[in-house]
Amino acid sequence: MKFRALAGSLGAGALALTFIPGPGATAASADLIVTVQPTRTVVAERYLEQEPTWKKCGEPGLRTQCAMVTVPRDWNNQGAGVDLEVAVSRVAPKKGKPSRIVVGNPGGPGAPGLGMAPFLASRPALAKGHLAVGFDPRGTGNSSNVTCDGSPMFTMDARDRDEENLDLIADAAELTSTYCERQSRDLLPFVTTEQTVKDLDLIRELLGFDHLDFVGYSGGTWLGAYYQTYFPEHVGRFVLDSNTDFTQPWQTTFEAQPEAFERRFREDFAGWAAKYHGRLQLGRTPAQVVAYYERLRAKLKAEPAIESFLDGMIVVRYDQNTLDGMIANSMYSKQDFQSLAEDLRFINDLRDTMAKKGAKAAQRKVDALPAAVKLAHAKRGKQAMQRRLGFGLPLSDDASNSTFFAITCNDTEWPRGQGYADDLSAELGPRYPLLGWSANQNPCYYWDRPSLDMPVPTGEGLPTTLMVQSDHDPATNVSLAMDAHEQYAGSRLVRVAGEGDHGIYGGINQCVDKVVDAFLTTGRSPAMDVVCQGEGIPAPRQREPEPATAMSATASTGSPLARIARYNKTLSGF
């Protein structure tokens, strides 16, 4: 097996790595030992010499090509085990040869990313000179998958503090860790950010570019900062939007979420709903809107509301957990506020009808809805039913969830055991009840991490990194961005005041888009931090029901992450 060294720092104090052939090594390489210098990444020639087969994928109008790239199972032991495949997408300029490459990641971590290529290519500023690239990170999407299939869901009420309920939550979290390990035993330890950034650098090399521009959202900011840390010589123009605190362990990011979701719900949604009480009928003040939610939650805990759609093919059970999930899912984008308000009224009416007139009367109420409205309610309700993890993270398919667990639990250390988890829940719950009580619903407290010690990103010696952050982002607390910005050398922050959407660039904020487009196309960064004003929350509108395929928390018209998710769907399974 031949190796070639690629420049790329592994961070100060990194230990030398030794290649020890495993079961997948050829006879010719059986006695080969390669010592990797601290500042070099050594790649076997067979990975560098591969020629991916590109073919059209998705809708023709997207002009997207997709291919599979072969990567080592373990970059630190490239001869061991069966190789993995990583799905990659690209969109070239309509005319001429691209002068730069821009790669995107939509976060999660664990969200598929093929849709990033057509999304980035849709930006007029990038369409002329950039090759736009997306990829499904190892573990998820069309790439080699991990799974936690069969693991339990958190169906308990996180607010119940009796010992038996707390033990059930701990058992479910620990079992999730066990299922992930057993179902993905030979791959789970290698689904880490360290492995993923090396996949990304191989993609850059195969596409023939010395430097890589990058747009990362949410968990993609973590990935971007670590790529910069491992491969500073290949860093181009990096944009990190809706930021984790990538200078701290994952624990820091997730423990800051309950505060951020509570702020978004109480200040943004409840304030907006109160302003339009005449239309929405949820309360005349923000406090009354929150009280409406608390009353409804208590009623659903006492007796859930159940509705059936499409002759029983879709059944939604609205309990207190479904309600919390529906609210949290809708906090990511202000475009979802009206649907949430209408859902709250609908579920309340459905529950009251059940209590007063019985289940059949409630079902007749459902049956009387227009077909598109029924299907839209069903899709939102089913999505909320699946959200059992706390920390405001929406669920999708098992590979995405499993990759999320692998990355967040493998990358950095977590406190161990039920005691810490329950104490944290008791601390955060009274202050941030929407999600704070569910802080103990996390398998990372019981996870057996691989032996991994990644260098901490510092930004030292890098070109300018452009960070974008809204003040009321629910999933990545603004405090995280402020801390990371302070710690990350050479960064510039574009702060969006009066805004709470998660994912800003490529949406509707022209101020942000102007700054980011200029940076990506010319390399010109602001001389100092910038404040852009948010666009405000639109008033409720009278409307015909939207197509059910577009009625979800991940499909909002103005959300860049929603557009990326829609592109992902059309590219999936290429």
Q: Which residue has the tokens 């069966």?
A: 82
Nearest one of 417, 275, 298, 420 to 351, comparing CA atoms: 298
- Report the alpha-carbon angle 341-343-345, nearest 5: 75
Same domain membership, residue 359 and residue 459:
no
Express each pLDDT in 107-129 by its tens digit.
999 999 999 999 999 999 999 99
CA atoms within 13 A on the CB side of 100: 23
The residues, ordered by sequence, that sit 6+ positions from 56 with a Cβ below 8 Å of its Cβ are 64, 65, 66
pLDDT at residue 22, as a whole number:
29
Q: How far apart are CA 558 and CA 568, in angstroms?
A: 17
| The two structure tokens encoding residue 436 | 């704070």
pLDDT at residue 4, as a whole number:
54
Tell me how far the alpha carbon of residue 427 is from its chain's centroid: 26
Residue 415 inside a domain? The answer is no
Q: How far apart are CA 102 and CA 113, in angstroms?
A: 13
**Cβ–Cβ < 8 Å for 170, 440:** yes
**Cβ–Cβ < 8 Å for 392, 435:** yes
Same domain membership, residue 297 and residue 239:
no
Same domain membership, residue 518 and residue 467:
yes
Residue 433 inside a domain? The answer is no
Nearest one of 345, 339, 423, 415 to 379, comparing CA atoms: 339
Residue where a domain stops, chosen among 339, 372, 391: 391
**Cβ–Cβ < 8 Å for 132, 117:** yes
**β-strands 491-497, 465-470: how paired?**
parallel
Same domain membership, residue 480 and residue 364:
no
CATH number, residue 497: 3.40.50.1820
Residue where a domain stops, chosen among 391, 408, 441: 391
Q: How far apart are CA 574 and CA 572, in angstroms?
A: 6
Domain tally for the chain?
2
**Phi, psi dihedrals of residue 457, rounded to the nearest 5°:** -60, 135
Q: Measuring CA to CA, how many Å separate 245 from each of 39, 458, 482, 484, 487?
A: 25, 11, 8, 5, 10
Tell me how far the alpha carbon of residue 351 is from its chain's centroid: 33
Reported residue count of the chain is 574
**Cβ–Cβ < 8 Å for 335, 384:** no
Q: Which residue has the tokens 């691989």?
A: 450
**Cβ–Cβ < 8 Å for 373, 545:** yes
| The two structure tokens encoding residue 284 | 């005349």
Same domain membership, residue 202 and residue 327:
no
**Cβ–Cβ < 8 Å for 282, 296:** no
Same domain membership, residue 480 and residue 346:
no
| The two structure tokens encoding residue 482 | 């402020």
| The two structure tokens encoding residue 152 | 């339990």
Residue where a domain stops, chosen among 342, 372, 391: 391
Residue 319 inside a domain? The answer is yes
The residues, ordered by sequence, that sit 6+ positions from 504 with a Cβ below 8 Å of its Cβ are 241, 242, 468, 469, 470, 496, 512, 560
pLDDT at residue 363, as a whole number:
80
Same domain membership, residue 220 and residue 88:
yes
Q: How far apart are CA 365 and CA 368, in angstroms?
A: 5
The residues, ordered by sequence, that sit 6+ positions from 197 with a Cβ below 8 Å of its Cβ are 223, 226, 227, 230, 231
Amino acid in position 399: A
Same domain membership, residue 288 and residue 242:
no
Same domain membership, residue 105 and residue 14:
yes
pTM for this prediction: 0.89
Tell me how far the alpha carbon of residue 412 is from its chain's centroid: 17
Helix residue spans in 386-500 (DSSP H): 398-411, 418-428, 478-487
Q: With a cut of 50, which residues of the chain have pLDDT below it?
A: 6-39, 388-396, 545-556
Amino acid in position 120: L
Q: Around Cβ 37, how many Cβ atoms within 10 Å?
A: 12
Could you give the dihedral angle defined by the CA atoms of residues 217, 456, 464 and 471, in that order, rounded to the nearest 10 degrees? 40
**Phi, psi dihedrals of residue 427, rounded to the nearest 5°:** -75, -45
Same domain membership, residue 299 and residue 211:
no
Residue 58 inside a domain? The answer is yes
**DSSP states along 275-325:** HTHHHH-S-SSHHHHHHHHHHHHHHHHHS-EEEEETTTTEEEEE-HHHHHH
Residue 169 inside a domain? The answer is no
Same domain membership, residue 508 and residue 378:
no
| The two structure tokens encoding residue 474 | 């629910």
548-554: Cβ within 8 A, 24+ apart: 548/372, 548/375, 548/376, 548/378, 548/379, 551/339, 551/375, 551/376, 551/379, 551/380, 552/379, 552/380, 552/383, 553/329, 553/330, 553/332, 553/333, 553/336, 553/380, 553/383, 553/394, 554/332, 554/394
Domain residues for the domain of 492 are 3-146+187-249+454-539+564-571
Same domain membership, residue 55 and residue 91:
yes
